[in-house]
Amino acid sequence: MDQRAIGVFDSGLGGLTAVRQLRRLMPSENIIYFGDTARVPYGNRSRETLLHYARQDLRFLSGFQLKAVVVACGTVSTNCLEELRAGSAVPITGVVEPAVKRAARLTRSGKVGLVATRASVASGAYERAFRRLDPALEVHALACPLFVPLVEEGRYRPGDTVIETVAEEYLAPLREAGVDTLVLGCTHYPLLSEVIRHVMGLRVELVDVGAEAARDCRDRLSAADALADRAEGSARFYTSDRAVDFQRLAALFLGEEAAGPVEQVDISQYGE
Ligand code: DGL
């Protein structure tokens, strides 16, 4: 039993989709979330910039008593995970491995699709993880750089012609390639599930990377006998831009109001 908190960070609000799953799976845990809303999006940044940002994010979280960290950002998980792990005393879960395992289990045709940010796709991290697991899988990776800004603008609902047009244009090649499993490789994308399902067809299995990372974190804590033992856990949220903006949008990603205080921090203080 370990009462310390789980730290979670993302470039912005997308990682709250992972928090939603963590709270569902482990309601007794305390969660400390940092969303770097002042510097979102990360998805088009260079690897050097991503590493600089991610180290600051992790350094901020390291000021709390933590037993685990979930990198709820596809872009950081694909580009910087090893470096972050190397410098951390706390175990770090990224989103790639758990999602890849799930997708490899789900696919029947052996054709798997991946949609993610430009930096995630360029890193090749998902493909490498699939290859390690099963070299016979055919992986079709696609960058969808307009998805994050559209989600953040609230343009993710079925019936919105802008997101439907963008999704159709991005996803048509994956549909035509016949993938039967699609990894939503960015934590913003679960909000697009309905729109994506509409384009890809109901038979295609969608893998939510935040949900898989949450499950992985739960399994590791459970195996280490490090789950918390309290009636109800709490959540605290930190953001690098205005707390009111975070609060206003958080409910979309969490599926509930940000049930906990939201505070702004100056992330540049946590730097190299
Ligand atoms: N939520 C982040 C991810 O999973 C991406 C958004 C961004 O580009 O910052 O990749």
Centre of ligand 1 to C-alpha 119, Å, is 9
Euclidean distance between CA atoms 3 and 9, whole angstroms: 19
**pLDDT tens, position by position, 175-208:** 999 999 999 999 999 999 999 999 999 999 999 9
Which pLDDT score, from 0 to 100, does residue 255 have?
81
Beta carbon of 14 within 6 Å of any ligand 1 atom:
yes
Kindly give the number of the ligand 1 atom that is closest to the alpha carbon of 95.
4
Which residue among 117, 151, 208 has the greatest number of ligand 1 atoms within 8 angstroms of its CB, and so is best to mutate? 117
Average pLDDT for residues 18-28, to the nearest whole number? 96
The atom number, within ligand 1, closest to the CA of 11 reads 9
Give pLDDT, residue 93.
Answer: 97
For 133-153, how does the pLDDT look when each residue is reduced to its tens digit (9 = 90+)?
999 999 999 999 999 999 988
CB 163 within 8 A of CB 156: yes
Q: Which amino acid is it at 254?
A: L
Task: Quote the pLDDT of residue 4.
Answer: 98
Among positive and negative, which fits the CA dihedral 256, 220, 101, 55?
A: positive
| pLDDT of 217 above 80 | yes
DSSP letter assigned to residue 239: E
Helix (H, G, I), strand (E, B) or coil at 141: strand
Select the more confidently predicted residue: 256 or 156. Answer: 156
**Which pTM was predicted?**
0.95
Judged by DSSP in three states, 170 sits in: helix
In this predicted model, what pLDDT tens digit does every residue of 48-100 receive, in sequence order? 999 999 999 999 999 999 999 999 999 999 999 999 999 899 999 999 999 99
Helices of type H across the chain? 16-25, 47-61, 74-86, 96-106, 118-123, 125-133, 147-152, 161-177, 193-200, 209-223, 243-254
- Mean pLDDT for the stretch of residues 8-33: 96
Please give the pLDDT value at position 177. 97
- pLDDT value, residue 216: 97
Mean pLDDT of 219-242: 96
CA distance 84 to 52: 10
pLDDT of residue 249: 87
Rounded CA-CA distance 252/255 in Å is: 6
What is residue 201's predicted lDDT score, i.e. its pLDDT?
Answer: 96
User: Can 73 be counted among the known catalytic residues?
Assistant: yes
Least Cα distance to 124 among 212, 185, 36 occurs for 185
Cβ–Cβ < 8 Å for 61, 9: yes
Q: Which two tokens stand for residue 19?
A: 């928090």
Whether pLDDT at 119 is above 70: yes
Give the separation between CA 55 and CA 76, rounded to whole angstroms: 10
Residue type, 191: L
Kindly state the average pLDDT of the residues 104-123: 97
pLDDT over threshold 80, residue 258? no
| pLDDT for 108 | 97
Contact predicate 111/156, CB 8 Å: no
State residue 248's pLDDT score. Answer: 86
Question: What distance in Å separates the CA atoms of residue 150 and residue 244, rounded to the nearest whole number?
Answer: 20
Which residue's CA lies nearest to atom 8 of ligand 1? Answer: 43
pLDDT at 272: 63
